[in-house]
Structure 1
Amino acid sequence: MDLYLGFVILEGLLALAVVATNLLVCAALCLHRELRSVTNCLVACLALADLGVGALAIPFSIVLSLELTLCFYTCLFLACFPLVTTQFSILLLLLIALNAHLKIRLPSSYAMYVRRGRVLGAVGLCWLLSLLIGLSPMMGWNRQGRYMEQNWNRTLAVSYAAERAAVVLIARDQPYGGFLSKVYPGTRGAPPYSHLHDEHLGRCSFTSVFAPEYLVYFVFFACTLLPLGALLGIYADLFRLVRGHFLAQPLRAAKRGELPMARTLLLLLGIFCFCWIPLHVIYCVRLLCPRCRSYAALDRLAVLLSHLNSLANPLVYAMRKKDFGRTLRSVCLRYVPCCSRAKVHPQGQSGRR
């Protein structure tokens, strides 16, 4: 119980921090037009996805960890939503890497290829693909049969226990009517099987609604490792290209300015792998080694680590990109009450001196 309480408290604090930092990123881009480059707008879309993680996915994760009795499709939607935001983050990182690659490889024709309408269309396509991938269990690739079977077995066990208790009570109160009470328990007031119509109810958790093959072969291998491999290939070619320019001729100012940005995006990719790979490894072990022992503390730590990625993205981007970091600090000092009071107090003290 203490472990679960600590998990809920950490998840709640993490959700507040994720919402606050990503709202700050979105506010900085809305208030300062000079930051509205294509890359920064894509990072703002990434912040919106992380905002969804803090506002919805983390509360959904807390509900799933409670293992409440819920309708199957309600439980399935709660479990599918984090997959949508995660897949969108992967596809958006791929789109940001392609943008950086075009900016360095084709600086003269970059504006001709990358336009506002095309970027918005690409972001919309990323959302569409993310919805199709994340919500595919709601179209049939799920464990509804087993979910209902577990509910049926549990309901039968509860009904049988209640029936036996009623029979014992009737036999004790009416010792000469015990035979009829056993044959017709419903006529003596014992609870019948009337609640078996709630067949879609069951114990809701993340693994109770998803097939392990879906989580491992489709989500991890096909939809996570393949885009991550493409990202690593893009960055390898990008840094090879930059190294070739360094050796052949002095790097242009535009390309030299994009190099730190490419390093920042590569760092974001590394943090994504660090935060999400452990959870996928746990699912792989459960599928390939079903007899292996599972640890609740390790599972919850992996879930916390995956949610921590949504907090790390804006922090890394603010620390690595100086102009963006200065803008975030100015927005924070101007619009966040506690920060603005901290700024005013030292000035007031120095004025009184």
Structure 2
Amino acid sequence: MEHLMTVYIVLESVLAVLVIAVSLLVCATVYLHKEVRSLTSCLIACLAVADLGVGALGIPFTVMLSLRQTLCFYTCLFMACFPLVTAQFSVLVILVIAVKTHLKTRLPSRYQVLVNMRRLMAVVFLCWLASVLAGFAPLMGWNLLWSFRKDQGNRSTLTISDLSEHSIIAQHFPYGGFLSKVYVRHRRNQTYSQIHVSHLGPCSQEAVVSPEYLVYFHFLAGTLLPLTAALILYTDLFLGQVRGQPPSPQEPHPPYREAKRSETRTARTLLLMLVLFLLCWLPLHLTGVVQLFHPAWRLPSWLPQLTVLLSHLNSLAGPLLYAARRREFGAAMRSVLWRGFSRGRPRNKVYPRV
């Protein structure tokens, strides 16, 4: 078991370094190369920012959760919620990309009127806001009513202290936590040290976040529903192209037809990125579904770690897939990478002849 945990930590560490490097490379490519700075590339850069958060904080937090160290409840809850924020933002941006691609291909006249960089960045900001509210909902105590359940032995399923006290928003703001009805109890006669000790416990995601919240809210409502809508948009897009009449061989190809082919290739690439996201994240979510509805089933000890590792792999594979499919973007990434290596390489000094 210890050997398996060591291998898992090493793999996660290597993956975190690679994710950070590739995400920074994507952002630098969009910033430095104006020829690839399209609206789609800017959205890919937004995904890279989320992947950067996964590599810099999400993966280290997940490793800490797997070690089950004794931590403060609030620290543990923040570490468990942060990966949910980045994952939710990635899902919403994928949906925005699907809507943009559908409008550009199927309704070009409306696309020219409705879509521009300013409005797109406003939508991205709203995606961040919605992701923060949805991912940090357990910090507000919104999932604690679901998680406060009793088993057959009349014992709490969580190992931390009273769940009614564990809401950061409810403790520091007068009306915080009003949606969850979580209130502060027995606080006036306790010192800070007593409160701090009462919040210590073994830190893991299942100890602080309810499985109902992860399955019903994060998976079904926050992940599966938006991705299904994106798949429907791509299906309608490609079905509309299939139903269209092909041009006759005698007719000269107008310029817009080449642009149409480029948009079709881009749509296929974005659809492949969506399928890749589903393949990487579905095993993790399905494991949570099995644990919720069939808690008696004994899953292999290595399976949760494998599914988590696979979900983090998407942050590395997604940008590489886009760069491989979009040749101009891949060439721009290679030029930025080569420029960085050439700057870091020591130059040979030329001494004057005597």
TM-score by shorter chain over 0.5: yes
How far, CA to CA, are the matches of 2:287 and 2:261 in structure 1? 41
- The residue that corresponds to 1:160 in the other structure is none
- The residue that corresponds to 1:302 in the other structure is 307
How far, CA to CA, are the matches of 2:71 and 2:297 in structure 1? 28
The offset of 1:338, in angstroms, is 9.8
- The residue that corresponds to 2:326 in the other structure is 321
Greater Cα offset, 110-119 or 34-43:
110-119
Compared CA separation, residues 70 and 121, structure 1 to 2 (3 A): same
CA contact (8 A) 1:333 1:340 kept: no
**RMSD across aligned positions (CA):** 2.4
Matched, 1:131 2:144: no
- The residue that corresponds to 1:255 in the other structure is 260
Q: Deviations over 1:214-242 (max 9, x none)?
A: 11111111111111110110000110122
1:273-352 to structure 2, matched below 5 A, reads 273-336=278-341
CA contact (8 A) 2:161 2:199 kept: no
The offset of 1:257, in angstroms, is 1.1
Amino acid at match of 2:341: V
Identity %: 52
Compared CA separation, residues 196 and 266, structure 1 to 2 (3 A): closer
- The residue that corresponds to 1:191 in the other structure is none
- The residue that corresponds to 1:188 in the other structure is none
Amino acid at match of 1:132: L
How far, CA to CA, are the matches of 2:57 and 2:244 in structure 1? 45
Amino acid at match of 2:115: V
SS in 2 for 1:41: helix
How far, CA to CA, are the matches of 2:75 and 2:223 in structure 1? 25
How far, CA to CA, are the matches of 1:289 and 1:34 in structure 2? 52
How far, CA to CA, are the matches of 1:42 and 1:58 in structure 2? 22
Matched, 1:150 2:155: no
- The residue that corresponds to 1:223 in the other structure is 222
The offset of 1:73, in angstroms, is 1.2
Amino acid at match of 2:18: A
Q: Deviations over 1:9-39 (max 9, x none)?
A: 0000000000001111111111111111111
Compared CA separation, residues 50 and 306, structure 1 to 2 (3 A): same
Amino acid at match of 1:200: H
SS in 2 for 1:252: helix
- The residue that corresponds to 2:114 in the other structure is 113
How far, CA to CA, are the matches of 1:292 and 1:256 in structure 2? 49
- The residue that corresponds to 1:88 in the other structure is 89
TM superposition score normalised by structure 2: 0.80
Q: Deviations over 1:168-222 (max 9, x none)?
A: xxxxxxxxxxxxxxxxxxxxxxxxxx97971111110011111111111111111
How far, CA to CA, are the matches of 1:71 and 1:257 in structure 2? 52
How far, CA to CA, are the matches of 1:235 and 1:92 in structure 2? 15
The offset of 1:148, in angstroms, is 9.9
- The residue that corresponds to 1:204 in the other structure is 203
| Number of aligned residue pairs | 303
The offset of 1:66, in angstroms, is 1.0
Amino acid at match of 2:20: V
How far, CA to CA, are the matches of 1:312 and 1:296 in structure 2? 25
- The residue that corresponds to 1:266 in the other structure is 271
The offset of 1:276, in angstroms, is 0.4
Compared CA separation, residues 196 and 135, structure 1 to 2 (3 A): closer
TM superposition score normalised by structure 1: 0.80
How far, CA to CA, are the matches of 1:295 and 1:16 in structure 2? 28
Q: Deviations over 1:241-277 (max 9, x none)?
A: 2212354777822221100100000100111011000
- The residue that corresponds to 2:12 in the other structure is 11
How far, CA to CA, are the matches of 1:293 and 1:130 in structure 2? 32
> Any unmatched runs of 5+ in structure 1?
154-193, 346-353
CA contact (8 A) 1:148 1:202 kept: no
How far, CA to CA, are the matches of 2:196 and 2:24 in structure 1? 45
Larger radius of gyration: 1
CA contact (8 A) 1:141 1:211 kept: no
Q: Deviations over 1:272-325 (max 9, x none)?
A: 011000011111111100111032211100000000000011100100000000
Q: Deviations over 1:133-188 (max 9, x none)?
A: 101111113458688962469xxxxxxxxxxxxxxxxxxxxxxxxxxxxxxxxxxx
Matched, 1:33 2:34: yes
How far, CA to CA, are the matches of 2:196 and 2:27 in structure 1? 47
Amino acid at match of 2:108: P
CA contact (8 A) 1:148 1:201 kept: no
CA contact (8 A) 1:18 1:51 kept: yes
Compared CA separation, residues 109 and 145, structure 1 to 2 (3 A): closer
How far, CA to CA, are the matches of 1:34 and 1:134 in structure 2? 35
How far, CA to CA, are the matches of 1:326 and 1:339 in structure 2? 20
- The residue that corresponds to 1:44 in the other structure is 45
SS in 2 for 1:296: coil
The offset of 1:109, in angstroms, is 4.2
- The residue that corresponds to 2:213 in the other structure is 214
How far, CA to CA, are the matches of 2:236 and 2:53 in structure 1? 32
More helix by share: 1
CA contact (8 A) 2:160 2:207 kept: no
